[in-house]
């Protein structure tokens, strides 16, 4: 069975997996558009997101304070496998029902947050490591509404930075600016 969330995750996942597979060991210390995060830090965060959002699909609480180093032997293969499990976890329609006990928000929003991290951090990692990245258009379209909904609270909590004053000629650029990113990173601030 599939849900809209699992379909969107399935469309987005291979694009981010390709970026992760394209990251070389000598790029792990490069800066990213996520202030204070090097590529290594962002990869560890993204792997943690992918694993934790599997648990959130099952309406279980997760621990965000643990910061293990996931970049051990076979980490790129593990990321791909865990991303596949993420898609599968959100494929049951019951995952979208009710309120997340661990996050206190509707489960449908939680599924969207997984899609947001997978999509936006895929872009972050791609630009940080000089790779091409084209997100799933259907994911970008879906995420626009989610980011507008979550944006004010996310900015208050420091999860999103204030949007830069930059033109947004594409849907992707709009999504990136609404999460506080500069779509032309690192060329301008």
CATH number assigned to the domain comprising residue 26? 1.20.120.450
Percent of the chain surpassing pLDDT 90: 66
pLDDT of residue 189: 42
Domain with 74 in it: 4-136
- Alpha helices by DSSP H, listed for 35-102, are 39-57, 75-89
Residue 27 has pLDDT above 80, yes or no: yes
Q: Mind listing the pLDDT tens digit for each residue in 115-124?
A: 999 999 999 9
Specify whether the CB–CB gap between 20 and 76 falls below 8 A: yes
- Residue 155 located in a structural domain: no
With cut-offs at 50, 70 and 90, classify the pLDDT of residue 79. very high
pLDDT of residue 164: 73
With cut-offs at 50, 70 and 90, classify the pLDDT of residue 49. very high
- Residue 187 located in a structural domain: no
With cut-offs at 50, 70 and 90, classify the pLDDT of residue 67. confident
Q: What is the DSSP letter of 159?
A: S
Q: Mean pLDDT over residues 179-189, rounded?
A: 78
Mean pLDDT for the chain overall: 91
pLDDT of residue 167: 65
- Residue 20 located in a structural domain: yes
Percent of the chain surpassing pLDDT 70: 97
- Residue 59 located in a structural domain: yes
Specify whether the CB–CB gap between 179 and 160 falls below 8 A: yes
- Residue 86 located in a structural domain: yes
Q: Mind listing the pLDDT tens digit for each residue in 134-177?
A: 999 999 999 988 988 888 777 877 778 777 776 667 888 888 98
- Residue 118 located in a structural domain: yes
Distances (CA, A) of 44 to 28, 30, 37, 58, 71: 11, 14, 10, 22, 7
- Residue 180 located in a structural domain: no
pTM score of the predicted model: 0.92
- Residue 68 located in a structural domain: yes
CA distance 136 to 14: 9
Q: Mean pLDDT over residues 15-28, rounded?
A: 98
Specify whether the CB–CB gap between 111 and 54 falls below 8 A: no
The number of angstroms, rounded, from the C-alpha of 100 to the middle of its chain's C-alpha atoms is 18
Helix (H, G, I), strand (E, B) or coil at 102: coil
Query: What is the tally of structural domains in the chain?
Result: 1
């Amino acid at each position: 069975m599939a849900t809209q969330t699992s379909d969107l995750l399935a469309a987005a996942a291979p694009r981010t997996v390709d970026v992760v597979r394209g990251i070389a060991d000598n790029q792990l210390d490069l800066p990213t558009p996520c202030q204070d995060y090097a590529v290594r830090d962002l990869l560890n965060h993204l792997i943690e997101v992918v694993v934790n959002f599997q648990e959130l699909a099952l309406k279980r609480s997760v621990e965000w304070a643990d910061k293990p180093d996931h970049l051990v032997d076979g980490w790129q293969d593990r990321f791909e496998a865990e991303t596949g499990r993420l898609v599968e976890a959100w494929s049951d329609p019951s995952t979208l029902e009710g309120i997340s006990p661990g996050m206190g928000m509707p489960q449908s929003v939680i599924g969207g947050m997984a899609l947001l991290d997978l999509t936006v951090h895929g872009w972050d990692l791609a630009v940080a490591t000089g790779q091409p990245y084209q997100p799933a258009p259907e994911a970008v379209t879906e995420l626009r509404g989610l980011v507008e909904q979550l944006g004010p609270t996310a900015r208050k909590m420091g999860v999103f930075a204030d949007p830069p004053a930059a033109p947004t000629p594409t849907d992707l650029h709009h999504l990136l600016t609404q999460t506080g990113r500069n779509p032309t990173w690192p060329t301008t601030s």
